[in-house]
Structure 1
């Protein structure tokens, strides 16, 4: 069978996959400042080894380099897009060597601006490069080879500012404490966690059906987090001394929105709760709607099938689920393109010595190849 052949070929290329990943990880590309020129050169060299590949490079800002690579089967068919950061490397060389097994084309987009919201990365590519608009997208952001993520929560960042009247703390009757006002405003804003909403049944059923597998990987309570509005105060500033009444205070907050809650809902709540409060103002900093692809879509089922074939039964089955974190797939979903995320489990994510398992790196490469084959097969 073609699936077994492709898996075997990927197993033979395991050492090359690990070496390619090491080269990419060893090349600095932190954001900020967001300079991806060096890692783009490495990625371009790696992509150049794919048979009959066409590579384009786009610098959309100082040092923000994006790469787009295309491999065509030579026959008409669908277009599948592999989307990732410039520190990932989707494996398509195996499929490029066996164009007779599939039709259509594969496109690889390596964005240089994911951590800053994707405006100059995947968003720019989707709006300016025709071949980036495919029939489906596979993204290799972190997760688990056993969980196919078909959607993600929305994001709303807001800065809330409180104005008061300065004075000495011994004479509180002559001042107005801005931090006290801010505390009240934060409580009012956080009450959004209790507003009623309804998610599509297809989404809630998928979350519940995935709970026993997904929470074993991502932690107890994930399914509840996926189905609730969360409010986190990440930054607070105000005051200079304990014996002075602060005249100004501010906080930056992160709200995550499940499917069924819109940006308009959040803004309406903040206007209702905060606008009448004296000395309080608020400003949105970043906002993205929740997005999801139906679990019944072909790309989701192809990825699920591939995950089951590669990972196999080990006490936990492969499942489909939503995602608590964000990725560039939201950009494609908002453009009407079905998209999934399936990647390695992150260990120590965001901390020193963050790592993934070589075994899972190999599994994800196989899952991506088999997903592409199943989606594009003749």
Structure 2
């Protein structure tokens, strides 16, 4: 016969067995790891004529546990426009382009603002955002599309100001510039950029993963993510990008078969598709500090960098003080100390970047930040970024 104490002990034993069967076992060695947190990439390099100094390099290159470096290529957005201007000036020096010639002469089809049919559109107006073109329509043309059709839409034009008289920043200028370059040379835009600028400077860089980048460069890309971690552009992968350009209307991405020189202009994103590392962009900055040598003559350098437009209160859209002066693909600003800088900003796919050169002090810098909220205040990425 079991005593009261024995019954009590037996009850506790049964209760413990039941509890152990119903309670999940905690095993620290097999528990699922917490999801890795991807850190925004924050990069800044300072440079002068002789050296490059990585001032800030922190965060991930768009992949958790993959630290960013100054040698990984990133899509630098509108800084691409400044590099395109370098190639245009090279072609001008070679006699293949004229900054003040009607671009329709190169293209073989007329380019006209419908409100000013007698006013020619020139490369000088396109490069300085005084062409009258506006981003009121989609400036990215499908691979089998024609820029001529896009520009026939009256919404593409500012009908209130004659070409060459009014500044308004517009991405749509860039595909037209690229188409003119192709028509004048008989060469595809990405190959022009490699031949005229990137390869001569020894850079491992390219537009939309086209000519100029080495094999495997695509796998080193700084993946651009939105703040929530969604992919915005350029996941780091092995092999070629399955479709780096805007596909055709049927989804095809066969550039060799569908792309026509001088007819599209946008496939390789002249307005923002340059993939380049911070170190290589600093080398372009060093070239600019040498007044364009060895790419440009001093005369061409001066023509490119001298402001073509300066805001006088009524001759352009200054975007609430954001734009005060602009050259040929070159943005000018004056800092809080009254010092003048030229260069360009880049803002796309949650990246903010600034590339600035102080010619008086013979120094410059490039900085970029990823995973930026698209609604964050827009700035020059000068004192800070964004």
TM-score, reference length from structure 1: 0.23
Higher-Rg member (1/2): 2
The structure in which a higher percent of residues are helix is 1
Q: Higher strand fraction: Structure 1 or Structure 2?
A: 1
Q: TM-score, normalised by structure 2?
A: 0.22
